[in-house]
């Protein structure tokens, strides 16, 4: 590794565009070349790894099971979502109740952490994957924020890589509407939040500076890694190809054609 790059003791992998490509409904997955072999070899070497997606549609264990069904060797405890981070942050911040704008799986981790999900008189509003969001949902969130609730957001990324190309991030659009109305600050729980990287570091049992962050989006995974002084690995299997990466303000320590090259760099 280059002299200015720290040794890597554990890895965090992005999902869409890095290990898989999903369809627009998030129901079917295409495993990208090298993904299975890389995760299997890390396990054989006893190098810890986790997956952190910005997707919040499914509880982590359900997401892990879906990935195992297409061959990825991922244990339930290795699968993390922004809701994993949100539950941790809300607990640390003393939030006891939350209004969740999201599909059924979005609030699962919050419930597991003992946070009550309800519609009014809440401590927090949490926005996740919500393709069926209505104006009533947005109005309820605004009213809760005006009443003092803190705004938490799973992902503030406008789109992500899928088998169909760029797919819109619903939470980005919903958050934009609510913040335009309320002017509320937000706590981001997904990537590129440093809270997410800190959570990953604790789960791996590895200092942030020794975490290898692998992803396809320079403004998300690479930005997070660089801000936290982690080791960044960019891949060109998402919507950013090599020429696109070269034009980005956030540059990775290593640029790979895919995750299959990763183990050659450590």
d(CA 209, CA 201): 9
Q: CA-based Rg of the chain, rounded to a whole angstrom?
A: 18
d(CA 96, CA 76): 25
pLDDT in tens, 168-222: 788 999 999 999 999 999 999 999 999 999 999 999 999 999 999 999 999 999 9
d(CA 246, CA 156): 23
State the CATH class of domain 84-188.
alpha beta
State the CATH class of domain 10-81+191-264.
alpha beta
User: What's the count of helices (H) and strands (E) in the chain, helices before strands?
Assistant: 9, 15
Residue with the two structure tokens 């939470």: 171
Q: What is the pLDDT of residue 264?
A: 87
- Residue 215 burial by Cβ neighbours in a 10 Å radius (0-12, 13-18, 19+): buried
What mean pLDDT do residues 21-37 have? 82
What mean pLDDT do residues 130-143 have? 97
Q: List the beta bridge partners of residue 29.
A: 22
**Entry pTM:** 0.92
CB 81 within 8 A of CB 67: no
Residue 167 pLDDT exceeds 80 = no
Measure CA 140 to chain center: 25
Q: What is the pLDDT of residue 76?
A: 98
**Cα–Cα distance list, 266 to 8, 38, 58, 144 (Å):** 7, 12, 32, 48
CB 133 within 8 A of CB 174: yes
Location of each CATH 3.40.50.1000 domain in the chain: 10-81+191-264, 84-188
**Cα–Cα distance list, 184 to 36, 144, 215 (Å):** 42, 11, 30
**175-206 in b/e burial notation, b at 16+ Cβ within 10 A?**
bebbbeebebebbbbbbbbebbbebbbebbeb
Residue with the two structure tokens 């069904």: 69
Q: What is the pLDDT of residue 235?
A: 97
- CA atoms within 13 A of residue 93's CA, in its CB half-sphere: 20
Look at the chain and count its residues: 266
Q: What is the pLDDT of residue 25?
A: 55
pLDDT in tens, 79-105: 999 999 999 999 999 999 999 999 989
């Amino acid at each position: 590794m280059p002299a200015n790059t720290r040794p890597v003791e554990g890895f965090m992998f992005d999902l869409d565009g890095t290990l898989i490509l999903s369809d627009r409904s998030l129901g079917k997955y295409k495993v990208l070349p090298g993904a299975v072999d890389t995760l299997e070899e890390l396990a054989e070497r006893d190098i810890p790894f986790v997956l952190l997606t910005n997707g919040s549609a499914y509880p982590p264990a359900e997401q892990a099971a879906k990935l195992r069904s297409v061959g990825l060797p991922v244990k339930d405890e290795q699968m993390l979502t922004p809701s994993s981070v949100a539950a941790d942050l809300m607990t640390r911040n003393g939030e006891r109740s939350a209004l969740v704008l999201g599909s059924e799986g979005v609030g699962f981790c919050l419930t597991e952490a003992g946070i009550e999900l309800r519609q009014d008189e809440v401590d927090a509003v949490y926005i996740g994957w919500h393709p069926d969001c209505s104006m009533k949902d947005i109005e309820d969130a605004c009213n809760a924020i005006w009443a003092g609730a803190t705004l938490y957001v799973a992902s503030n990324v406008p789109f992500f890589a899928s088998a169909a190309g760029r797919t819109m991030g619903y939470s980005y659009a919903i958050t934009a509407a609510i913040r335009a109305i309320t002017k509320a600050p937000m706590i981001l729980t997904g990537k590129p939040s440093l809270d997410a990287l800190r959570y990953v570091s604790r789960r791996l049992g590895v200092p942030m500076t020794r975490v290898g962050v692998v992803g396809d989006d320079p403004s998300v995974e690479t930005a997070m890694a660089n801000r936290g002084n982690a080791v960044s690995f960019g891949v060109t299997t998402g919507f950013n190809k090599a020429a696109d990466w070269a034009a980005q303000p956030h540059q990775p320590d290593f640029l790979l054609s895919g995750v299959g090259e990763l183990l050659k760099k450590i």
